[in-house]
C-alpha cells in the first residue's frame, strides 16, 4: 500500500499502543505456565506469530474482548506438527528457537524473506553447547533453523553485540533445564533494557535469575524451575509512542497528549529525555502516565548513543533531519540487523527529501535543514515507514510505499495519525 502525506500538524489525545516486547514475553511465559490471562495485549503481526508458535508447542490461546486467555504447556513443549513460521518477527524466532531446545524431538523454524537474512549464530552455538542440537539449514546462521531438543544446564558465554534477544531466549528456556546454567556476556551487551524487561517478566512468573553484581554481565539461572504466570496487563509502548511524540515536536501548531505511558523498564522511554534535550516542549506526568508535546520550537542537534535503544534510531534520525545543526547517532551497528539494514535504509531515503546524511559502519551524521517532498521507499519495514511518515508531515507532497508493514508493531498507526489531523491519504495501486 502507498500513502500520500501532506504538510500536517497534529492535535489531540491518543493512547499509546500496548508494548510489543512485553506482549511477546507475556504470551511466551503464559505458554510455559499452566494458565494465565493477559490484559490489553498488542495484537499485531509480530505478536500473532508468537501466539501461533506457542500454540504449536501445545498452548491454547483464546481471545476474549481485550484479553488473551492462555492455557499453557506447563514447562514441557510438545514437538510441533509443522514448521514454525515466525513471519517477520526476530523476537519470535529467537525466543522459540530456545524453547525448541526443551522438546523431545525436532523443530523447524523459519520466517519471511527479511527474517531469513537476520543472524542467529551466537544463539545456535550456545544451544549446541547446552546439549541441544541447533543449526541453520543453509549453514549461514540464518533461518530456516532446525533444533533437536536436549537442553541441559552448563556454563556458557555468548556474544552480546548482535542481539539481546539471544540472551532473553536463554533466560527464558534455561530455567527449565535439568541443571543450572551460567550465561556470561562477552563484549558489549547491546539493547540491554530488553534483557531487563525479560528478567522483570520472569520474576512475575516466579522464575529466579541471579545477575552478578559486576556490571550485570553474568546470569546464573537455576535449573528445574516452574513457570507460574497468572495475570498481566501490558503497558504502553514507548517505541510506538516515539512517532506520536516526535510528530508533535516537529510540526508547528501541534499539541499531542499520549496516555498509557507509565515509568517502565523499556529503554525507549529515552525518547522523552531526548526530545527535551533537543529543545522540544514536552512534559511527562509519570503518575498519570501522560506525556504532552507542543510543537513549534526549533529543535537542536544532538549526539545520540543508540546502544541500548536501537528501535529509536529511525525516529531520532528524522528529528535530527529538521533540527538546527549536525547530529550524530553513534554505537548503532546493531541497527543494521533488523527487519532491514536501517542505517542503510535511512541513508538512502532521507537524502531523497533533501537531507544531508553520512552513513558509517556504526553511525549516522545528519545535518538538519529544510525537507522537500519526495516519493520514498518504506523498505517493507514498519519503523522506516513510520519515521518517513513524520518527515512527510513536515515536507508535504510525499508518498511512501510498503506502508502495510506498520501492522508489525503499530497496526493503527495511520488511523491514529489521521485522528490527530495528519493529512495522510491512500493511493490505490494498479
Ligand atoms: O527483545 C525484544 O523485545 C527486542 C529487542 C531489540 O532487538 P535486539 O536485541 O536484537 O537489538 C529490539 O530492537 C526489538 O525490536 C525488540
Ligand atoms: C527489530 C524489531 O523487532 P524484531 O527484532 O522482533 O523483529 C523491531 O520491532 O523494530
- Which ipTM was obtained for this model? 0.99
Average pLDDT on 43-71 reads 98
Tell how far CA 115 is from the center of its chain.
14
Taking 60 as the threshold, does the pLDDT of residue 375 lie above it? yes
How does residue 319 score in pLDDT terms, banded at 50, 70 and 90?
very high
- Check if the beta carbon of residue 424 is closer than 8 Å to that of residue 397: no
Q: What is the pLDDT of residue 298?
A: 97
Task: Please indicate whether residue 194, judged by its CB atom, sits closer than 6 Å to ligand 1.
Answer: yes
Average pLDDT on 148-165 reads 97
CATH superfamily, with its number, for domain 2-17+236-427: Enolpyruvate transferase domain (3.65.10.10)
Q: What is the pLDDT of residue 8?
A: 98
Task: Please indicate whether residue 90, judged by its CB atom, sits closer than 6 Å to ligand 2.
Answer: yes
Average pLDDT on 38-62 reads 98
Per this entry, what is the length of the chain?
430
Taking 80 as the threshold, does the pLDDT of residue 428 lie above it? no
CATH superfamily, with its number, for domain 20-233: Enolpyruvate transferase domain (3.65.10.10)
Give the CA radius of gyration of the chain: 21
- Check if the beta carbon of residue 85 is closer than 8 Å to that of residue 62: no
Taking 60 as the threshold, does the pLDDT of residue 430 lie above it? no
- Output 212 or 57, whichever has higher pLDDT: 57
Residue 184 annotated as binding site: no
Task: Please indicate whether residue 190, judged by its CB atom, sits closer than 6 Å to ligand 2.
Answer: no
Q: What is the pLDDT of residue 429?
A: 67
CB proximity list for 345: less than 8 A, separation 6 or greater = 379, 381, 384
Task: Please indicate whether residue 165, judged by its CB atom, sits closer than 6 Å to ligand 1.
Answer: yes
The per-residue pLDDT for range 93-112, each reduced to its tens digit, is 999 999 999 999 999 999 99
DSSP assignment of 210-258 equals EE-TTTT-EEEE-SS------EEEPPBPHHHHHHHHHHHHHSTT-EEEE
Q: Which ligand is nearest to the CA of 194?
A: 1
The per-residue pLDDT for range 107-140, each reduced to its tens digit, is 999 999 999 999 999 999 999 999 999 999 999 9
Say what percent of the chain tops pLDDT 70.
Answer: 100
Residue 20 annotated as binding site: yes
Ligand 2 atom closest to 409 (CA)? 9
Q: What is the pLDDT of residue 115?
A: 98
Residue 118 annotated as binding site: yes
Task: Answer yes or no: same fold for 2-17+236-427 and 20-233.
Answer: yes
How does residue 300 score in pLDDT terms, banded at 50, 70 and 90?
very high
Q: What is the pLDDT of residue 352?
A: 98
Please report, for the chain, the start and end positions of each structural domain, with discontinuous segments joined by +: 2-17+236-427, 20-233
Amino acid at each position: 500500500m502507498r500513502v500520500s502525506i501532506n504538510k500536517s500538524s497534529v492535535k489531540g489525545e491518543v493512547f499509546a499502543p500496548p508494548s510489543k516486547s512485553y506482549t511477546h514475553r507475556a504470551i511466551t511465559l503464559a505458554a510455559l505456565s499452566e494458565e494465565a490471562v493477559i490484559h490489553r495485549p498488542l495484537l499485531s503481526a509480530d505478536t500473532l506469530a508468537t501466539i501461533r508458535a506457542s500454540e504449536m508447542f501445545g498452548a491454547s490461546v483464546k481471545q476474549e474482548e481485550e484479553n488473551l486467555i492462555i492455557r499453557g504447556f506447563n514447562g514441557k513443549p510438545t514437538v510441533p506438527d509443522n514448521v514454525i513460521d515466525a513471519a517477520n518477527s526476530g523476537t519470535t524466532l529467537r525466543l522459540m528457537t530456545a524453547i525448541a531446545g526443551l522438546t523431545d524431538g525436532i523443530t523447524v523454524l523459519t520466517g519471511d524473506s527479511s527474517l531469513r537474512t537476520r543472524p542467529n549464530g551466537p544463539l545456535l552455538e550456545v544451544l549446541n553447547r547446552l546439549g541441544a542440537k541447533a543449526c541453520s539449514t543453509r549453514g549461514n546462521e540464518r533461518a530456516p533453523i532446525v533444533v533437536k531438543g536436549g537442553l541441559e544446564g552448563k556454563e556458557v558465554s555468548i556474544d552480546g553485540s548482535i542481539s539481546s534477544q539471544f540472551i532473553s531466549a536463554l533466560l527464558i528456556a534455561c530455567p527449565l533445564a535439568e541443571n543450572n546454567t551460567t550465561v556470561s556476556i562477552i563484549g558489549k551487551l547491546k539493547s540491554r533494557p530488553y534483557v531487563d524487561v525479560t528478567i522483570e517478566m520472569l520474576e512475575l512468573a516466579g522464575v529466579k535469575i541471579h545477575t552478578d553484581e559486576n556490571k550485570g554481565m553474568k546470569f546464573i539461572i537455576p535449573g528445574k524451575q516452574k513457570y507460574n504466570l497468572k495475570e498481566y496487563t501490558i503497558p504502553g509502548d514507548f517505541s510506538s509512542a516515539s512517532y506520536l511524540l516526535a510528530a508533535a515536536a516537529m510540526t508547528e501548531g501541534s499539541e499531542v497528549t499520549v496516555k498509557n505511558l507509565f515509568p517502565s523498564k523499556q529503554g525507549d522511554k529515552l525518547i522523552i529525555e531526548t526530545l527535551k534535550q533537543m529543545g522540544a516542549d514536552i512534559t511527562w506526568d509519570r503518575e498519570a502516565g501522560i506525556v504532552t508535546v507542543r510543537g513549534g520550537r526549533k529543535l537542536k542537534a544532538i549526539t545520540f548513543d543508540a546502544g541500548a535503544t536501537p528501535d529509536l534510531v529511525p525516529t531520532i534520525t528524522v528529528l535530527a533531519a529538521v533540527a538546527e545543526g549536525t547530529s550524530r547517532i553513534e554505537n548503532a551497528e546493531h541497527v543494521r540487523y533488523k527487519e532491514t539494514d536501517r542505517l542503510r535504509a535511512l541513508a538512502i531515503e532521507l537524502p531523497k527529501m533533501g537531507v544531508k546524511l553520512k552513513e558509517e559502519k556504526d553511525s549516522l551524521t545528519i545535518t538538519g535543514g529544510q525537507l522537500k517532498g519526495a516519493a520514498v521507499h518504506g523498505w517493507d519495514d514498519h519503523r522506516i515507514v513510520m519515521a518517513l511518515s513524520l518527515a512527510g508531515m513536515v515536507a508535504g507532497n510525499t508518498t511512501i510505499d510498503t506502508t502495510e508493514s506498520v501492522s508489525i508493531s503499530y497496526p493503527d498507526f495511520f488511523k491514529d495519525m489521521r485522528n490527530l489531523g495528519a493529512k495522510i491519504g491512500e493511493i490505490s495501486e494498479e
